């Protein structure tokens, strides 16, 4: 499991970040850049192939984190956006 992380809210108060999958969030831009060419070449590429590519590159991620990233990357790519938009 990820260690606790903290954020500062609009009032300047330190709050525990309740979001999960911090490692996946940090790896997301690189993962998107890695999978975008695969999706551009074949939008119907299997989720297994995408997940395998991510697992090979980011071996420290749990399978749930990889699955979440594949779904998010596919949706973002289909919308024509990038992680920096």
pLDDT tier for residue 1 given thresholds of 50, 70 and 90: very low
**What phi and psi, each to the nearest 5 degrees, are found at residue 15?**
-125, 145
Q: CA-CA distances (angstroms) from residue 84 to 25, 43, 55, 72, 76?
A: 13, 21, 23, 14, 11
Say yes or no to pLDDT of 85 above 70.
Answer: no
Q: Establish if 62 belongs to a structural domain.
A: yes
Q: Establish if 39 belongs to a structural domain.
A: yes
Q: Establish if 71 belongs to a structural domain.
A: yes
Per residue in 51-82, pLDDT tens? 999 999 999 999 999 999 999 999 999 999 98
Q: Establish if 3 belongs to a structural domain.
A: no
Number of domains, the chain: 1
**Residue span of the structural domain in which 41 resides:** 20-78
Q: Establish if 85 belongs to a structural domain.
A: no
Q: Establish if 1 belongs to a structural domain.
A: no
Q: How far apart are CA 23 and CA 1, in angstroms?
A: 10
Q: Establish if 38 belongs to a structural domain.
A: yes
Per residue in 9-27, pLDDT tens? 788 888 876 667 778 889 9
Q: Quote the pTM value.
A: 0.75
């Amino acid at each position: 499991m990820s260690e606790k992380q903290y954020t500062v809210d609009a009032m300047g108060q330190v709050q525990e970040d309740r979001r999960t999958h911090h490692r996946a969030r940090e790896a997301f831009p690189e993962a998107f850049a890695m999978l975008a060419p695969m999706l551009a070449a074949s939008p119907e590429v299997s989720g297994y192939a995408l997940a395998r590519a991510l697992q090979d590159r980011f071996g420290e991620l749990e399978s749930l984190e990889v699955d979440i990233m594949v779904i998010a990357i596919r949706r973002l790519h289909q919308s024509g956006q990038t992680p920096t938009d």
